[in-house]
Amino acid sequence: MQPSFYVRDVPVYGDVILAPMDGISDMPFRILCRAYGSAMSYTEFTNAAGILHGADRVMRMLDYDPSEKPAMTFQIYDADEDRIVAAAEKIEALKPDIIDLNMGCSVPGVSGRGAGAGLLRDPDKIGRIFNRLTKAVKVPVTGKIRLGWDQESKNYKTVAKVLEDNGASLIAVHGRTRCMAYGGNADWSAIAEIKQTVKIPVIGNGDVKTPGDIAKIKAQTGCDAVMIGRAAIGNPWIFQRKNREEITLDDVVTMMRRHLKLMLDYYGIAGLTLFRKHAVRYINGVYGASELRHALVRCETPEQFEEIVGQAQAQNE
């Protein structure tokens, strides 16, 4: 099988990718999505200061499964240039294929202190960081960005060129500004402009909700791959380009059991509680979903989970 594209020298087999999402794209969910066709694995964004302190919770976020290679990507964030570089040097020892810098997080507690999308306000600083990163580590370094801080300060073409000129090997673009958060509509035309501005691969992200949207954003932007975030929660079949309406209740229950087992194997019994946010999304559109949702979020044992989903299957026969 031929790679769809390369991140410098790292082959990527496929053109649909699970987005990094805080509290969502942990190792169990990434394993599932990878098995269904996600072409790259991005960790949840990890705090550079936490990495340097060796915080157990932060370092555990960098766990990965062998099935996630090639293109296993560690995503880090911070506002401090020295910490970003030092953290990248430290985690390279864990053998990721790629290290990515988050410049897209819009959460005020992150962007408001100059990290995440806050970095977009200072393209020169981004240039310095990437110039240092690409010299400090051997693996490819990439960046995930938004279109700018707000409507009046869209600087995505400038930032994209700065990234390329300072050694970035790929750019992922969410077609919204920081101030839009997840509101309004993603601007795919801006992603197309970035693709025309740089020679490195570009991943398009934003408002991709169906297999049809995957085709549309690729056609409109010319992007090398498509990143899917919220629409993948409870719907790993999107990486197979299957419409959610094609998925039967038996498919859903089978997937929920598989996902829960991965969560329990990795987290122990705490995995059941952590699974709830996925469970409520899996059952969207299922007959009696509101009652089922109510039961699932109160479920306290794997046996209760089995009883609940078994009853749901019986009622939907």
User: Which residue numbers are catalytic?
Assistant: 105
Are the CB atoms for 227 and 17 separated by under 8 Å? yes
The 8 Å CB, 24+ separation contacts for 4-9 are 4/39, 4/224, 4/225, 5/201, 5/224, 5/225, 6/201, 7/71, 7/97, 7/98, 7/140, 7/142, 7/169, 7/170, 7/201, 8/140, 8/169, 9/140
> Distance (Å, rounded) from C-alpha 231 to C-alpha 237?
10
Are the CB atoms for 167 and 200 separated by under 8 Å? no
Q: Determine if the peptide bond prior to 70 is cis (ω within 30°).
A: yes
> Distance (Å, rounded) from C-alpha 99 to C-alpha 90?
11
Which secondary-structure segment (H or E) carries 140?
A: none
Are the CB atoms for 167 and 130 separated by under 8 Å? yes
Instruction: Locate 102 and state its tokens.
Output: 């988050």
> Distance (Å, rounded) from C-alpha 197 to C-alpha 157?
7
